[in-house]
Amino acid sequence: MIEAKAVNFAYHRGEPVINDITCKIEDGEFVALLGHNGSGKTTLSRLFMALVHPRSGDIFVDGDNIEKLEPADLAHQVGYVFQNPDLQILEDTVFAEVAYGPRCKKLSETAIKEQVQAALQAMGLENLADAYPRTLSFGQKRRLGVAAALALNPRTLILDEITNGQDEQEKDNMMDYLQKLNKEKRITIILITHDMNIARQYAKRAIVLNDGNLVFDGTTQDLYNGVRDLKEWGLTQPIMAILSAAFIISAPTVEDFCEKLCLKEGGER
Amino acid sequence: MKITAFTQLITVLAVTTWVFLLPVPAVAIILVLELALLLYIKHDRLTMAAIGALTVFTGMMILLQLIFGSPLSVSLTGGLRMFVMTTAFLCLLAATKIQDIAQALVEKFHLPCEYAFMLTTALRFVPDFLTDSATTLDAQSCRGYSNRGNVFKRFYSYLAVVKPLVMRAVAKSDTLALSMELKGFGANTYQNMTPQRLCFADYLVLFLVMLLSLYPLWSKYI
Ligand SMILES: Nc1ncnc2c1ncn2[C@@H]1O[C@H](COP(=O)(O)OP(=O)(O)OP(=O)(O)O)[C@@H](O)[C@H]1O
Ligand SMILES: [Mg+2]
């Protein structure tokens, strides 16, 4: 559980970047954090991870105020996955790479082995345990990044634009793994993304930032109802949402939509 | 009035010799002039930070010398000399683009183009490297890296930050080398520089520099 109470933040002596944000993310939720470039998404998530601390206001992780903590203290509660996996690759095998976190926490070798294997499995990397991390494909490296965060068994995962630059198949692949984590292990997912389709398809709840202000906090269904004008926040309705609204068919995917549309057309004829 | 990179380089080199040649009061005057010049050219946060860091470093140097038994006056003048020398370079960097400095090195000091190019390229890596290192530090600390504990522990765990950075730099320089080769680097046909011409201000400054550099010759007549 992550909770922000009246949080304000600015970098150095610059303009305020986060303005008086209050929100609460419960265990097991799948939240999309949305907003235009520079709206403060990354900054808010960095606040959650204690990478930066608020100017005023408080942040609670699992009920504890994190103002005196540093990221390493939170690593077993919240996993943070960065955009560029290359900048953290350290070891010569995928297994060792994922084991870095548990090793820092000084877990026993058996516990390390167990947790690493579980993390690799959760991201579909179990066959690559002995591979050299730098030679993995881009998508695999991204999943490696998630596995590395998962290895500490966090209750929450924060993912900052990790589907950027991946092909559709690899994107779906990644999102399916994340959905499985959310459904089966009840891991809270906070997904920062510019991809409205992904947000609509996978997230239950959406939080929208606009110039550092929280302007929307509700279900993705409500946000993407096909008619709400999202331009002022720098967002757009996904095409599927517009179609769904126009044809009064609720469907998560294109295939689903086509099927239901055919049924409907058939019925009318 | 602007003087060329060549003159600036000569002046900086001269200042570094004056620091040892001229008497302490003169060096102190140079320092005041330098600081005024530096703040005139540029007074942003970075400049202030550089001056601050330099001051702290100089203070430490003086302290170290004192600890190792140098007399106070010697340590103080040592510190002053270093401060003046470094500030001269700060002025040079604040006033002139690295490209101009590199060009002056090639044209006037006949440094091979390749070396000048290496200098500018290397310096271009610096800001990239700084952002990369911040990101790596963040990424590893989210996985449990922490710089707590004694010096050895800290040093050992810091390898987790250094290693990805080094690998990254190696990969980057690989790409750079390849792309340079593809663009024909090494063919030695660089022709797109407008030569830097010396003007009156340059000759004036160069004359003053020469005059001051000959101080030991005329000092006994005053
Ligand atoms: N390290 C920093 N120092 C100073 N200002 C920063 C820093 N990082 C971000 N900012 C500023 O804070 C504001 C919010 O940035 P942030 O990165 O949180 O936005 P974002 O929503 O993640 O954008 P994007 O979608 O482009 O990633 C921007 O105006 C940005 O210029
Ligand atoms: Mg961002």
pLDDT of residue A267: 66
**A134 and A249 housed in the same domain:** no
In which element (H, E) is residue A216 found? strand A213-219
Q: Is residue A231 part of a domain?
A: no
What is the percent of chain A with per-residue pLDDT over 90, rounded to a whole number? 77
Torsion of CA B91, B97, B102, B108, to 10 degrees: -70
CATH number, domain of A44, equals 3.40.50.300
Kindly state whether A84 is in contact with chain B, defined as any CB-CB distance less than 8 angstroms: yes
Q: How many CB atoms lie within 10 A of CB A258?
A: 12
**A215 and A97 housed in the same domain:** no
Q: Provide the residue count of chain A.
A: 269
pLDDT of residue B153: 78
* pLDDT (tens digit per residue) in A148-185: 999 999 999 999 999 998 899 999 999 999 999 999 99
3 state SS of A247: helix
Q: Is residue A82 part of a domain?
A: no
Over range A89-106, report the average pLDDT.
92
**A92 and A69 housed in the same domain:** no
pLDDT of residue B186: 65
Over range B52-60, report the average pLDDT.
88
Which residues of chain B have a CB within 8 Å of the CB of A103?
144
User: How many domains does chain A fold into?
Assistant: 3
Lowest average pLDDT, out of A39-53, A97-111, A126-140, B207-221, goes to B207-221
Which residues of chain B have a CB within 8 Å of the CB of A152?
143-144
Lowest average pLDDT, out of A12-26, A71-85, A203-217, B69-83, goes to B69-83
pLDDT of residue A114: 95
**A43 and A56 housed in the same domain:** yes
- Final residue in a domain of this structure, among A152, A185, A208: A152
Question: Which range among A195-209, A239-253, B7-21 has the greatest average pLDDT?
Answer: A195-209
Lowest average pLDDT, out of A250-259, B115-124, B185-194, goes to B185-194
Residue pair A25/A2 in contact by the 8 Å Cβ criterion: yes
- Final residue in a domain of this structure, among A152, A180, A206: A152
Q: Is residue A65 part of a domain?
A: yes
**A146 and A259 housed in the same domain:** no
pLDDT of residue A193: 95
**A120 and A185 housed in the same domain:** no
Q: How many CB pairs under 8 A join A and B?
A: 70
Write down the ipTM of this complex. Answer: 0.87
- Final residue in a domain of this structure, among A152, A183, A208: A152
**A56 and A115 housed in the same domain:** no
**A143 and A264 housed in the same domain:** no
Q: Is residue A119 part of a domain?
A: yes
- Indicate which residue's Cα is closest to atom 4 of ligand 1: A11
Q: Is residue A39 part of a domain?
A: yes
Q: Which atom of ligand 1 is nearest to the CA of A44?
A: 18
**A68 and A191 housed in the same domain:** yes
User: Which of B138, B142, B164 shows the shortest C-beta gap to A90?
Assistant: B164
Q: How many CB atoms lie within 10 A of CB B172?
A: 14
- Indicate which residue's Cα is closest to atom 18 of ligand 1: A40
**A218 and A94 housed in the same domain:** no
Looking only at the bridges linking them, the beta strands covering A188-192 and A156-160 are: parallel
**A256 and A125 housed in the same domain:** no
For ligand 1, whether the C-beta of A39 sits within 6 Å is: yes
Over range A79-97, report the average pLDDT.
91
Closest Cα in chain A, distance from residue B138 (Å): 7
Amino acid symbol at A72: A
**A212 and A168 housed in the same domain:** yes
pLDDT of residue A252: 78
In which element (H, E) is residue A159 found? strand A156-160
DSSP state of A212: T
- Indicate which residue's Cα is closest to atom 12 of ligand 1: A17
User: What is the distance in A from the centroid of ligand 1 to the CA of A190?
Assistant: 18
Q: Mutating which of B137, B143, B166 best tests the A interface, going by the most A Cβ atoms within 10 A? A: B143
Q: Is residue A230 part of a domain?
A: no
What is the percent of chain A with per-residue pLDDT over 70, rounded to a whole number? 99
* pLDDT (tens digit per residue) in B132-150: 888 898 999 999 888 777 7
Q: Is residue A170 part of a domain?
A: yes
| A44, A122, B85, B149 from A185: Cα distances, Å | 25, 10, 62, 34
Band the pLDDT of A266: cuts 50, 70, 90: confident
Average pLDDT, chain A: 92
Q: Which atom of ligand 1 is nearest to the CA of A209?
A: 21
Q: Is residue A107 part of a domain?
A: yes
Gyration radius from chain A CA atoms: 20
* pLDDT (tens digit per residue) in B155-198: 778 888 888 888 888 888 788 878 877 877 766 555 566 777 78
Whether the model pTM is above 0.80? no
Residue in this structure with the two tokens 């490297």, named with its chain if needed: B129
Enclosing domain of residue A267? 238-269
Kindly state whether A51 is in contact with chain B, defined as any CB-CB distance less than 8 angstroms: yes
